[in-house]
Amino acid sequence: MATLEIHDLRVSVEAENGPREILRGVDLTVRQGETHAIMGPNGSGKSTLAYSLAGHPKYTVTGGTVTLDGEDVLAMTVDERARAGVFLAMQYPVEVPGVSVSNFLRTSATAVRGEAPKLRTWVKEVKETMELLHMDPAFAERNVNEGFSGGEKKRHEILQLELLKPKIAILDETDSGLDVDALRIVSEGVNRVRGTGEVGTLLITHYTRILRYIKPDYVHVFAAGRIAESGGAELADKLEEEGYESYVKGGASA
């Protein structure tokens, strides 16, 4: 069973006046089949956690360990992490002009699966998944993320999630900027992947709204670069009523 173990993870970014520590000792274990929601106020370091796990060069790991089934994730390059089974659905997916969605999807599926998918089954697989996400077939011929609306970008991320079938899926504010219909469609996609029982999900969000569609097993409150409180789904209800204020005050001096 795939397990992502994060232990005492510390991460800095380069700021104007030297390095600034953003993650200050994160401990978290995500097992296959589990869904963990990470909630927290803006600036608490949620997205830094997501990007650090994916290996974004902007973030420097200064301490701690991350392992996937015992393998050192931090020692892997960005592409190696993806091939090992870590997937990050980005909050702000990047435009790649000149590269069509279909070419991109096939190239990444080939990389992650270790061999080129058979053309006929692949075309069918992409088409069916796009239909489930209410994406126009013409979408496949557009350039990656170029001119996509916010909702289209998120659906495209979830399309990749469904096709690449990672062991660990990190969803960074996938709900932000979506209207109710789009949120439902995107959540259904995530739930299809969760339904296989083969993926551990790290759902990073500012709002409790998405948790009505995607039921977490665990909820963690993130504040000042670490997990301030952990609980079950009921913790989200408390946040819904009380907001993050108590955590922000508690962490303000840190």
Q: How many angstroms separate the CA atoms of 147 and 216, rounded? A: 33
- Minimum distance of another protein from residue 200's CB (angstroms): 17
- Minimum distance of another protein from residue 93's CB (angstroms): 7
Q: In what order do the strands lie in the sheet with 3-15?
A: 18-31, 3-15, 59-68, 71-72
Q: Which is nearer to another protein, 22 or 224 (CB)?
A: 22
Q: Which is nearer to another protein, 41 or 117 (CB)?
A: 117
Amino acid at 113: R
Q: How many CB atoms lie within 10 A of CB 163?
A: 19
Residue 48 burial (CB < 10 Å; 0-12/13-18/19+)? buried
Q: Which is nearer to another protein, 66 or 235 (CB)?
A: 66
- Minimum distance of another protein from residue 120's CB (angstroms): 22
3-state helix, strand, coil in the chain (%, to 5): 40, 30, 30
Q: Which is nearer to another protein, 112 or 190 (CB)?
A: 112
Question: Which residues have CB under 8 Å from 30's CB, separation 6+?
Answer: 3, 4, 6, 36, 168, 200, 201, 202
- Minimum distance of another protein from residue 48's CB (angstroms): 14
Q: By the criterion CB under 8 A, which residues form the site for another protein?
A: 54-57, 77-79, 81-83, 87-88, 90, 93-100, 103-104, 107-108, 111-112, 143-144, 160, 164
- Minimum distance of another protein from residue 55's CB (angstroms): 8
- Minimum distance of another protein from residue 17's CB (angstroms): 23
Q: Which is nearer to another protein, 55 or 200 (CB)?
A: 55
Q: Which is nearer to another protein, 79 or 131 (CB)?
A: 79
Locate all alpha helices (DSSP H) within the chain, ordered by sequence: 46-54, 78-84, 101-113, 119-132, 150-164, 180-195, 234-242, 245-251
Report yes or no: 173 and 181 within 8 Å, Cβ to Cβ.
no
Q: How many angstroms separate the CA atoms of 43 and 62, rounded? A: 19
Q: Which is nearer to another protein, 83 or 209 (CB)?
A: 83
- Minimum distance of another protein from residue 170's CB (angstroms): 10
